[in-house]
Amino acid sequence: MKRITLILLILATTSISLLSQENLDFSAVKDIISPEIHNDKSVTFRFLAPHAENVSVGGDFLPINGWMPGTEQMTKDQNGLWSFTTKPLDSELYTYAFIVDSLQVNDPNNVYYRRDVTNTLNIMLVEGGQADLYKVNEVPHGTVAKRWYQSPGNKMTRRITIYTPPGYESGKKQFPVLYLLHGMGGDEEAWMTLGRASQILDNLIATGKAAPMIVVMPNGNVAQEAAPGESSKGFYKPNFNLPHTMDGQMEETFIDIVNFIDNNYRTIKNKSGRAIAGLSMGGFHSLHISRYYPNTFDYIGLFSGAIKPNERNQSKVYANIESTLQKQKNNGYKLYWIGIGKDDFLYKANTEYRSELDRIGMKYTYRESEGGHTWRNWRIYLSEFAPLLFK
């Protein structure tokens, strides 16, 4: 008994000694708020790391550095609490992470985060402008379902995300459909998590700015059953290098998705009731699906779209591009919408593609924005494109 008492006394003394050496006031840091969004829309980030030598914060609220978000050094106080305060920010949904001694970590005081391909990033929303469209507001809400459909073309059952507008379940009305496609590395969850598609549609429909519509968000990686962690493959590390990426198989088998939606939902089953749009790789798919099935969609949207297939790709989907565009033009359509950021690495390809459309007399609406290849632009494009549909 005396020995146990002695050990406890030594442990207590050691703990007191360590606290004295660190001289930390834990009462000052136990209720850490991070991020803290101030009235002027500046934001303070905080991270407790007494033993760290260097802590910085990186995110899309900072100027981009090549492909990577910018970073800012944080400062450390006497309690080991690191902090950084931004300048006033535009209203937007932002992602960020901390870099602690060269290791990227999430903010332990912010439970809100999203997976972006291989990374998990915290999110924050600065209200009072564009980002109010991305909030859950007190308006009627649509329903978001994760469905499984049989894809004969891919010889597998695959998962798909489907948004139905407010009141769909209680009515008998038929609705138009927007097929909304993700970019490379994304999946059927991307437009819901990073794109805030359901919030955007809820808010636009509630204010009468967009027609009620069904929004279908498929997985454009035809080698996958579903998003990482949601398929029979279990919990594996996601990656970009997937088979059949932009090789024509997505375009060839897309009709499986259209058939599933038309057979299971109350849809307008002609091109006046169908739109297709996508970002980056999804823009590539939208371009080629809409001309490969040239009398299927009245509305086409390319958001920072990749344009040309790999020259080594011999898929029949990419044969006779000009003649199929001409056929699409002759069949008629109501909107061909192209959006691209001035700093996007695909800017030149989009400029060249518009020249091709001009040469064959194919009409389009062009939207040029600031910034580059980012979700910030793609959310804006969706919020501007959706109100133009099905009028």
Extents of the domains making up the chain: 23-128, 133-388
Helix, strand and coil in the chain, % to nearest 5: 30, 25, 45
Amino acid residing at 174:
Q
Going by the DSSP 8-state scheme, the letter that residue 12 receives in this structure is: H
Where is 379: in which H helix or E strand?
A: helix 375-385
- End-to-end Cα separation, the chain, in angstroms: 84
Tokens (6 digits) for 122: 């915290």
Regarding the domain delimited by 23-128, which CATH topology (the fold level of the hierarchy) does it fall under? Immunoglobulin-like (2.60.40)
Amino acid residing at 303:
F
Class of domain 133-388: alpha beta
Tokens (6 digits) for 306: 């990749």
Q: How many helices (H) and strands (E) would you count in the chain? A: 8, 18
Beta strands 92-100 and 55-59, pairing class: antiparallel
35, 59 Cβ separation under 8 angstroms: no
* Gyration radius of the chain's alpha carbons: 25
Q: What's the CA gap between 273 and 296, in Å, rounded?
A: 9
Q: What's the CA gap between 274 and 257, in Å, rounded?
A: 13
Give the pLDDT confidence score for residue 23 in this predicted structure.
Answer: 46
Q: For the chain, how long is the longest CA-to-CA vector?
A: 96
Task: Report the predicted TM-score, pTM, of the whole model to 2 decimal places.
Answer: 0.91
User: At which residue do the structure tokens 């594996």 appear?
Assistant: 236
Give me the tens of pLDDT residue by residue for the chain, a chain 391 residues long. 444 443 333 334 334 333 333 444 544 556 899 999 999 999 999 999 999 999 999 999 998 766 677 899 999 999 999 999 999 999 999 999 999 999 999 999 999 999 988 889 999 999 999 999 999 999 999 999 999 999 999 999 999 999 999 999 999 999 999 999 999 999 999 999 999 999 999 999 999 999 999 999 999 999 999 999 999 999 998 887 888 999 999 999 999 999 999 999 999 999 999 999 999 999 999 999 999 999 999 999 999 999 999 888 889 999 999 999 999 999 999 999 999 999 999 999 999 999 999 999 999 999 999 999 999 999 999 999 999 999 9
Common-topology check for domains 23-128 and 133-388: no
Going by the DSSP 8-state scheme, the letter that residue 304 receives in this structure is: S
- Residue 159 exposure: Cα atoms within 13 Å on the Cβ side: 16
Q: What's the CA gap between 267 and 273, in Å, rounded?
A: 8
Question: 301 pairs with which residues across the strands?
Answer: 277, 337
Distances 121 to 3, 48, 131, 262, 302 between C-alpha atoms, Å: 49, 18, 18, 36, 26
Could you give phi then psi for residue 129, rounded to 5 degrees?
A: 175, -135
* Residues whose CB is less than 8 angstroms from the CB of residue 387 and which lie 6 or more positions away in sequence, other chains included: 204, 209, 210
Distances 316 to 114, 251, 323, 324 between C-alpha atoms, Å: 37, 10, 13, 12
